[in-house]
Amino acid sequence: MIRWLTRRAGNAEISPSKTNSERFERKFYLPASTIPFAAHLLAHCCPEDSQYPRGTIHSVYYDTPDLEYFNDSQEGNHGRVKVRIRWYDFPQTGLAPVFLEVKSKRGYAGSKKRKTISVSSERLGNPTSGQGILPYPAVMHGLAELGYSPPDLLQPLILISYRRLRFVERMTCSRVSLDWDIRSTLIDPKAGRREGSIGMEGGVIEIKGQSSEIPATLQSIRDLGTDWSRYSKYASCVEVHLEEPGSVGRIWPSGRTESA
């Protein structure tokens, strides 16, 4: 079992509304059966993040009517963008911080801009309702402040939530995370079948740092029988909602099964 602790929104992972320097992201998909061992291995290799060692992450992703961001991710295009509203853990009452984010990637290198906005915790309690978390003009105004102009109208498409353990690799200061219990709910009923919440199999280790090389202290990740991949929670979850219910391997990333 993975040790867990629920935190209130007041302890949310907060960073200023600035542009992060470009960093490389390496992702390793894990079958569900290897997640407990992966948590043990990472805890042995790296210290926990001193501020935010664990938490639950929620994100509402936006896309164009033609799903341009989704298609770019699926096709592995060199330049890709994600627009989302993200918040942490389970707000109780009053106002809670959310983060309007624009994440840009070129290959495996990427950067992120984010703007902090306070919203009512009641809106976060039902993020798939027709009200939405933020009014559309507020989203567009926030994106303009972040220097981003969408290629078309944007609409909230899907809610994705998952648990995360956070670590720091000492030698390179790379940020390391283990994500699992990934669940998604479609917001726009025109985009899929509106089945309610769907859980994805497995999890993912993410390493974010200034080099594309895997730190020496983390080479043991390969003992998990996994490899470097382009795994995208957003693209995988949207794909699940677009496929026919009951499809073989539907809740697995493309080309993956538990025996992998």
Q: What is the pLDDT of residues 126-161, one digit of tens each?
A: 888 766 799 999 999 999 999 999 999 999 999 999
Q: What pLDDT is stored for residue 247 in this prediction?
A: 58
Q: Examine the pLDDT at 234 and tell me if it is beyond 90.
A: yes
Please state the φ and ψ torsions of residue 129, each to the nearest 5 degrees: -75, 170
Residue 189 confidence (pLDDT): 63
23-242: CATH number: 3.20.100.30
Query: What's residue 6's pLDDT?
Result: 37
What is the distance between the alpha carbons of residues 225 and 206, in angstroms, rounded to a whole number? 15
CA distance 200 to 162: 10
165: its two tokens:
């353990």
pTM score of the predicted model: 0.86
Question: Mean pLDDT, the chain, as a whole number?
Answer: 84
29 confidence band (pLDDT: 50, 70, 90): very high
pLDDT of residue 125: 87
What digits encode the pLDDT tens for the residues 172-193?
999 999 999 999 998 866 665 5
Residue 68: partners with Cβ closer than 8 Å, 6 or more residues away? 151, 152
Q: 153, 147 in Cβ contact below 8 A?
A: no
Structure tokens at 194: 């509106």
Residue 212 banded pLDDT, cuts 50, 70, 90: confident
Backbone torsions φ then ψ of 111, nearest 5 degrees: -145, 165
Three-state SS for the chain is CCCCCCCCHHHCCCCCCCECCCEEEEEEEECHHHHHHHHHHHHHHCCECCCCCEEEEEEEEEECCCCHHHHHHHHCCCEEEEEEEEEECCCCCCEEEEEEEEEEEECCEEEEEEEEEEEEHHHHHCCCCCCCCCCHHHHHHHHHHCCCCCCCCCEEEEEEEEEEEEEECCCCCCEEEEEEEEEEEECCCCCCCCCCCEECCCEEEEEEECCCCCCHHHHHHHHHCCCEECCCHHHHHHHHHHCCCCCCCCCCCCCCCCCC
Which residues lie closer than 8 Å to 222 by C-beta, 6 or more apart?
Answer: none
Q: Is the pLDDT of residue 238 over 70?
A: yes
Domain ranges of the chain: 23-242
How far from 115 is each of 97, 104, 112, CA to CA, in Å?
Answer: 10, 15, 10
Phi–psi pair at 174, nearest 5 degrees:
-65, 145
